């Protein structure tokens, strides 16, 4: 069976890390970054910083950011910390 996850490497807060997501999530995240005129690495770093208070794994936070972008646009994709309690 073919692996459906695509792994990408980033440097976050000075540490190398790899993230594995489905291709569709990477596509949406790339579109979100382009719409914000920033690199994918910058978007991932922003999501990483925003997730710190939520205790989410980075891959989960990125999937939620992609979903928010697909639903409402780039502003909501990063501001996940304002979700209802």
Q: What are the pLDDT tens digits along the chain (85 aa)? A: 466 999 999 999 899 999 999 999 999 999 999 999 999 999 999 999 999 888 899 999 999 999 999 888 655 555 554 444 4
Q: Provide the sign of the torsion angle of the four alpha carbons 12, 44, 26, 67, taken in this order.
A: positive
48, 60 Cβ separation under 8 angstroms: no
Which tokens hold the place of 18? 């790899």
Q: How far is the C-alpha of 50 from the C-alpha of 6, rounded, in Å? A: 23
The dihedrals phi and psi of 77, each to the nearest 5 degrees, come to -65, -30
Reported pTM: 0.80
């Amino acid at each position: 069976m073919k692996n459906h996850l695509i792994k990408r490497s980033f440097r976050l807060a000075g540490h190398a890390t790899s993230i594995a997501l489905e291709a569709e999530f990477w596509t949406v995240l790339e579109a979100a970054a382009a719409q914000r005129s920033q690199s994918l690495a910058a978007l991932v770093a922003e999501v990483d910083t925003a997730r710190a208070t939520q205790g989410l794994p980075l891959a989960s936070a990125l999937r939620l950011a992609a979903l928010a972008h697909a639903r409402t646009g780039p502003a909501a994709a990063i501001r996940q910390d304002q979700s209802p309690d």
